[in-house]
Amino acid sequence: MSYSSSSPARTRAFARVLGPFLAIVTAVAAYRMPTMAAMFSDFFANGAVVWITGALLLLCGMIIIALHQYWRAPAAVLISLFGWLLVLRGAIVLVAPNLMIRGGEALMPHQTLLRLSFGLFTLIGLYLTYVGWIAKPRDH
């Protein structure tokens, strides 16, 4: 899709939704880290919930990819990459949930690494929140 004047506005709209979502969810996940291992096990114990979650991840990622094909600004790149990440994760959860289980089980003992990862996504969420709600739109 070619660049249009609506692309920055679309990036801003996606940033308004994805920014606060990422900031809140990842900050809470980092805070609740001691309970995450049990929650992880409980989640994968229910095949229907896993399948529905994979389908929703795939759908959300495809919506982002379809509606946001703009790669010219840092926030736009982050949003587009997030869409592709959701598609990839959704497909893996649908097709090979055992890969996610093994990956999660391998990461659970590394609480510091997980907290740093959640912290990085929290910072990305805060940046997108700034872009979406606070920064003045640039004229193109």
Task: Give the residue extent of every domain in the chain.
Answer: 7-131
d(CA 25, CA 76): 20
pLDDT tops 60 at residue 41: yes
d(CA 137, CA 62): 26
Q: Taking residues 42-49, report their average pLDDT.
A: 93
Q: In sequence order, what DSSP letters do the residues of the chain get, joined into one string?
A: ----TTHHHHHHHHHHHHHHHHHHHHHHHHHTHHHHHHHHHHHHT-HHHHHHHHHHHHHHHHHHHHH----SSHHHHHHHHHHHHHHHHHHHHHH-HHHHHHHHHHHTT-HHHHHHHHHHHHHHHHHHHIIIIISPPPP-
Condensed to tens digits (0 to 9), the pLDDT of residues 80-131 reads: 999 999 999 999 999 999 999 999 889 888 989 999 999 999 999 999 999 9
pLDDT tops 60 at residue 139: no
% of the chain surpassing 70 pLDDT: 95
Supply the pLDDT for residue 138.
Answer: 72
